[in-house]
Amino acid sequence: MAIALSFVLLVLVLLFVAPPRLRQRRRERLFRSGLPDHYRQMLDRNAPLLRRMPEELTRELYGHVNVFLHEKRYLGCGGLELTEEMRVIIAGYACVLLLNRKTDYFPGFSSIYVYPDTYLVDDVEYDGEIEIRGRDARAGESWPGGPVILSWRDVLDTMSGVADGQNVVLHEFAHKLDEEHPDVEGLPLLASSAHYREWAEVMTRAWERLEETLATQERPAIDDYALTSPAEFFAVATEAFFEQPTLMKHQFPDVYEQFRRYYCLDPASWPGVLPRP
């Protein structure tokens, strides 16, 4: 009986303890390996945001990208033939959100679907009891517990270097970070319990004054799509934090500070970032 019980306990240990340890060791090995030189060149050529980062963050990013490429599965849709360069560029932008803090590499999903351009989806809205059906063109989606979907044309727009605050990869993968806190949308997992109250107060104030900011600012750092929902506010503000950090810091200093604490990064201080307009 004692031998049988010991065997059962050993099996339980192997089933529930060994896989996470093996996964962590594999991740550590991949992270230390970094990226092949030709992958680094792909990022340097095509990712203006990454060129602005300090060197130590770039080295860390290479390690995260190597893990990401081994763990996530890409699928081309709508006739798109995915290339190695496409995969690396998407991974590079996604992994910016993982820098400088402990990460589990966007858990809970593994597939990334990429369309050649914006794509149409069936959309249903309700006006009282009236059901309104239509088709909606989208640049990206993040399905809760499911895949990330991207338009490659919109990724290419991000690569143009135009500082318009738009980055579909950052936007959709910010939703994946948001999903890690399943109870409240627009509220990612924060490092300390004390941070949640301050986060909620700052984001509520920003939400309430965003319409005024949109009406008075010629170039608002956070666009009106943020008013769709708290989840979209978090995703849009994430785009602004990385793509227009000095503008966001000027217009929404309290929001910028919350994001600086959450992401453990200060993009407004990176070399090559434009000063405030």
Residue 67 has pLDDT above 50, yes or no: yes
Q: What is the pLDDT of residue 248?
A: 95
Helix pair 37-46, 55-71: axis angle to 10 deg: 110
Residue 13 has pLDDT above 60, yes or no: no
Both tokens of residue 52?
A: 């602005």
Q: What is the pLDDT of residue 185?
A: 87
Q: Which of 90, 225, 235, 66 is nearest to 150 (CA)?
A: 90
Q: What is the pLDDT of residue 130?
A: 61
Residue 80 has pLDDT above 80, yes or no: yes
Q: How confident is the model at residue 8 (pLDDT cuts 50, 70, 90)?
A: very low
Q: Convert the pLDDT of each residue in 34-50 to its tens digit.
A: 799 999 999 999 999 99
Tell me the DSSP string of 38-107: HHHHHHHHH-HHHHTS-HHHHHHHHHHHHHHHHH-EEEE-TT----HHHHHHHHHHHHGGGTTS---SST
Q: Convert the pLDDT of each residue in 132-175 to its tens digit.
A: 555 577 788 999 889 999 999 999 988 877 667 889 999 999 99
Q: Convert the pLDDT of each residue in 188-221 to its tens digit.
A: 999 888 899 999 999 999 998 888 888 888 888 9
Torsion over CA: 227, 230, 232, 237 (sign): positive
Q: How confident is the model at residue 227 (pLDDT cuts 50, 70, 90)?
A: very high
Number of C-beta neighbours around residue 250 at 10 A: 16
Residue 181 has pLDDT above 90, yes or no: no
Q: Which of 103, 90, 86, 84 is nearest to 31 (CA)?
A: 103
CA–CA gap between residue 183 and residue 181 (Å, rounded): 6
Residue 17 has pLDDT above 80, yes or no: no
Torsion over CA: 123, 183, 91, 270 (sign): positive
